[in-house]
Structure 1
C-alpha cells in the first residue's frame, strides 16, 4: 500500500464546498507544486503520513472537540464525493488551522515521540534504527509546523487530499 497526503492553503473567501472544485486544487503540474511547497503554501507527506498521524494521536488530553493535534494530518471536515473510491478530501477552517499551528509550535516533539515510538520502531528497523526513524519524523513535524504556521499567519484554510493506493 502506498499513501501520500497533500495539504494546500486556501484563502477562506475562495474556498468552495464542492468536491469538484477542491479536486482542481490538486491538478497542478509537479513544478507548480514544488514552488508552492517551497513557499509553504502546500505540503506533501509521503507514505509515512499515516504513521506521522500516530505521533500526534497520543497528544495531550484535551476534550475531543478541542484537540488540534487530531487535526494535524488526517483531521478535517470530509467533503462528500460522488465516487467513494476516489481519494478523500478534508477541509480545516482558518480557525482550525490556527489552532493546529499553535499546537505544533508549542508541542514537545520528544514527548510525542515517546508515546508513539514503541508502535513505530518495529516498522522502521527497530531500536537500532531509532536515530534515523526519529530524524525522519522530526523532519515531518518541522515541515508540518512550517506549513501550518505560514497558513495561520495568512489567515487561510487548509484542504487535504489523502491518496492510498493498493491495499
Structure 2
C-alpha cells in the first residue's frame, strides 16, 4: 500500500498535544472515515501530496514560508509519533485553519497551476497527459478547499498524519 496524507478536523477544545491521543484519533473504522470525508470533516491525499503542496508554496516543501499556503498540505506544529518509524503528526490551530481556508477560498486554481506546471507535467506523462494531470490536481484542490472551509466554519483545528 502506498503512503497517503490524512487530514482530520478536531474541535479546538478537544485537541491534545499527545502522540498517543493523536494516533488513536486515526484508528477508527473505514465506514466512519468515509462518512466524515463525505461531510468534509476529513480528507485524504494520495502519494502525490508533496506535488500538491507545490501548488501552494511555489517551492519544494522543505523551503516554504510560514504563510497560509505553506500550511495547506505539509504545514503545522510537529508532534513526534510514538513509533520509531512513524511520521510526526502536524497540528493547525483553529486560527491557522481559518487563514488556510481564506487563502484557498480566494485562490484561483489556474494561478496556482501555471507556475508549477513545467515541474509537474514531466512527472505525470508530459504534455500529452496535461488535461488529466491538471484535472487530478484541480480535484484535490477543490477537496482541500471544501475540507478547510467546513473546518473553519465549525471553528475546528486540523490534525494531519502521513500514513503508509
1:1-167 paired onto structure 2 within 5 Å: 2-58=2-58, 64-65=65-66, 67-163=67-163, 165=164
Cα separation, 2, equivalents of 1:83 and 1:33: 23
Query: Are the aligned partners of 2:81 and 2:87 in contact in 1 as well (CA < 8 Å)?
Result: no
Cα separation, 1, equivalents of 2:65 and 2:141: 21
Unaligned segments of structure 1, at least 5 residues: none
Cα separation, 2, equivalents of 1:112 and 1:40: 22
Query: Are the aligned partners of 1:3 and 1:49 in contact in 2 as well (CA < 8 Å)?
Result: no
SS of corresponding position for 1:2:
coil
- Normalising to structure 1: TM-score of the pair? 0.91
The alpha carbon displacement at 1:125 in A equals 0.6
Cα separation, 1, equivalents of 2:84 and 2:68: 26
Cα separation, 2, equivalents of 1:141 and 1:98: 16
Cα separation, 1, equivalents of 2:50 and 2:137: 11
- Normalising to structure 2: TM-score of the pair? 0.92
Query: Are the aligned partners of 1:5 and 1:45 in contact in 2 as well (CA < 8 Å)?
Result: yes
SS of corresponding position for 1:160:
strand
Unaligned segments of structure 2, at least 5 residues: none
Q: Aligned pairs, how many?
A: 160
